[in-house]
Structure 1
Amino acid sequence: MNESLISTPPPNKAETVLLLHGATSVHDIWAPLLPLFPANYRIIPLALPGHLDGEPVDLTQPISLDLLSKKIVLEMHRQGIESAHVAGNSLGGWLALELARCGFAKSVTAFSPAGSWPNHKAFLRIARAMVFACRVFPLLRPLFAPLMVFTTVRQWLFASQMRHGERISPSAAKRLLLAICRCPVIPPLIKAFGDHGAIRPLPDPSIPVNIVWSANDAVLPPAEFLEPMRDAVPSARFILLGEAGHVPMYDQPAAMVAHIQESIEQTTANVTMNA
């Protein structure tokens, strides 16, 4: 994990916020949000296990979402953090919900979370696209990287993920491409999803859960994927994030921070009401 991305809190820090990126992505993706958080928050953009800069996983052993969740909690405990507010995108959003299930998360803000699909055909469509990218991008990376200096190329390359790919710097774009090339955990993780199914119901996590779905999500379109997630997490508050794609960090960073802060404030309000 790039330690330069972790904010150093003052002694009177207010809250710790754990940020979890999506599958094949990298923790750098949260960079547009970091300057927008209050200065007294400790922000931890974590590299997911099995991803670029993340903790290696043993691919000879069964891979599961539960395994990734346990590794994340253990890493937080190693840093002296027993609980935190958790925000995640896509796979990171699903993991955030699992961290609520196990009692680690103080609040959850899940942006277009993975984990729900209306039918097996929809699951296969997403799964095959991810496995294809992991296999093909390493072959194409020598061709793509020199082209990242061109704004139109970055916009085109990331069009399926976000509305404003042109806002990504050439260096950040190269990191995202590298992350896709170095993500060996994806094929076995996809197999585990196919074997074990979608997210298990989370009827009442007893903490604030805000699920923020990008209105222009082309990867997990809300018209198709939102309702199955609502069925799985009926106690959550569902919000549409306008003018944003599946990976909204470069599209709506200020709105994302506002939604995370809202989840945190709901926790504070709940504590006050129960006092």
Structure 2
Amino acid sequence: MSPGRSSLVLFHGVTMSSAAWDEVVPHLSEHHEVFAPTALGHRGGPEARQRPVRVRDVVDAAERMLDDRGIGQAHLAGNSLGGWIAIELALRGRALSVCALSPAGFWNAGGHGQTAAVRKLRRLGALTRSTHRVQPLVFRSAMVRRLAMRDIACHADRSTPARALTAATDLVGCTVTDDLLGTDEQMAAVPELPCPITLAWSGEDAILPPAINGRIARERLPRARFEILPGVGHVPMIDDPELVAATILATTGAASPPHRT
């Protein structure tokens, strides 16, 4: 690590890979040594050798990645499952700060806030797998990209065909999707924070709506800073990578909070 530049580790959401951060990393690299690993059982990540895989297994694997890179503590940021991973690692003493973007895990034991999300993600997975052969062709259309990814992004038409195809290929190649979507685990209440934590919720999140999952998160992490990111869907890196980077840097203290209009 370069002198004066702290580490920043980025964790992606379920079915995705480190590629989810490709458009965000250039905005962060001036301020931090950035590391974006791919999670256990996801395409390009460590192989899952025991099944079913639980969220705690994914967190364990992420902590081993930190150990392997000699990172004791770092600023952590994550989206969806990645936000959950980041918070769990903070509870293990591995975080200087956490920026959790629409983090998963904030639902009730009865499934409130989880069932609808799982149903939408399963539907997206089935559609992606069934159309994968034609995606290199149809993803040339901005309208198709927007419609195909409407559950996770508001403006997927702004993404490139190559990035849309990478996201789809990551989904098809994820071996632990059913394990993680079927988990009964949830994020426990954290009355006292181990480090500064920002809960940055996508304002147009159709998977984990702020009115449901965001509310539960605020109840369970009452001392966390909570903000709504306007005009972005569940995976805000697709819609507005600059806003995502500014939000993360405001949490790490490397930049002023992004201006809200």
* TM-score, scaled to structure 1: 0.86
Question: Are 2:151 and 1:152 equivalent residues in the alignment?
Answer: no
Corresponding position of 2:246: 258
1:112-159 Cα distance to aligned partner (Å, 9 max, x none): 111112552542222233334434532320122321111111122112
For 1:73 and 1:120, the matched residues in 2 are separated by 28
**Partner of residue 107 from structure 1, selected from 97, 110, 120:** 97
Residue ranges of structure 1 left out of the alignment (5+ in a row): 1-8, 267-275
Question: Are 2:5 and 1:14 equivalent residues in the alignment?
Answer: yes
Corresponding position of 1:5: none
Given that residues 92 and 113 in structure 1 are in contact (C-alpha distance below 8 angstroms), is that contact kept between their aligned partners in structure 2? yes
Which stretch shifts more, 254-263 or 85-94? 254-263
Question: Are 2:27 and 1:36 equivalent residues in the alignment?
Answer: yes
Percent identity for Structure 1 against Structure 2 = 28
Does the C-alpha gap of structure 1 residues 146 and 24 become closer, same or farther in structure 2, counting only changes over 3 Å? Answer: same
Given that residues 87 and 110 in structure 1 are in contact (C-alpha distance below 8 angstroms), is that contact kept between their aligned partners in structure 2? yes
Given that residues 120 and 151 in structure 2 are in contact (C-alpha distance below 8 angstroms), is that contact kept between their aligned partners in structure 1? no
For 2:208 and 2:31, the matched residues in 1 are separated by 34
For 1:66 and 1:122, the matched residues in 2 are separated by 20
1:223-262 Cα distance to aligned partner (Å, 9 max, x none): 1111111111111110010111111113222222222112
Corresponding position of 2:77: 87
Given that residues 134 and 183 in structure 1 are in contact (C-alpha distance below 8 angstroms), is that contact kept between their aligned partners in structure 2? no
Which stretch shifts more, 29-38 or 12-21? 29-38
For the aligned residue pairs, the C-alpha RMSD in angstroms reads 1.8
**What's the CA shift for 1:216?**
0.9
For 2:197 and 2:119, the matched residues in 1 are separated by 30
**What residue identity is the alignment partner of 1:251?**
D
For 1:88 and 1:36, the matched residues in 2 are separated by 16
Given that residues 106 and 113 in structure 2 are in contact (C-alpha distance below 8 angstroms), is that contact kept between their aligned partners in structure 1? no
For 2:29 and 2:127, the matched residues in 1 are separated by 40
Q: Which SS does the other structure have where 1:144 is aligned?
A: helix
**What's the CA shift for 1:264?**
1.4
For 1:137 and 1:157, the matched residues in 2 are separated by 8
Which stretch shifts more, 238-247 or 119-128? 119-128
**What's the CA shift for 1:20?**
0.6
Q: Which SS does the other structure have where 1:231 is aligned?
A: helix
**What residue identity is the alignment partner of 1:189?**
L
For 1:66 and 1:180, the matched residues in 2 are separated by 21
**Equivalenced residues, count:** 253
Q: Which SS does the other structure have where 1:225 is aligned?
A: helix
Question: Are 2:125 and 1:137 equivalent residues in the alignment?
Answer: no
Question: Are 2:97 and 1:96 equivalent residues in the alignment?
Answer: no
Matches within 5 A, 1:1-275: 11-58=2-49, 60-117=50-107, 119-191=110-182, 193-194=183-184, 196=185, 198-265=186-253
Residue ranges of structure 2 left out of the alignment (5+ in a row): 255-261
Given that residues 190 and 220 in structure 2 are in contact (C-alpha distance below 8 angstroms), is that contact kept between their aligned partners in structure 1? yes
1:43-102 Cα distance to aligned partner (Å, 9 max, x none): 1111111111111112x4342111111111111211121111100001101111101111
* Greater fraction helix: 1
For 1:115 and 1:181, the matched residues in 2 are separated by 23
For 1:13 and 1:152, the matched residues in 2 are separated by 44
**What residue identity is the alignment partner of 1:209?**
I
Given that residues 111 and 213 in structure 1 are in contact (C-alpha distance below 8 angstroms), is that contact kept between their aligned partners in structure 2? yes
**What's the CA shift for 1:109?**
0.1
Q: Which SS does the other structure have where 1:109 is aligned?
A: strand
**What residue identity is the alignment partner of 1:204?**
E
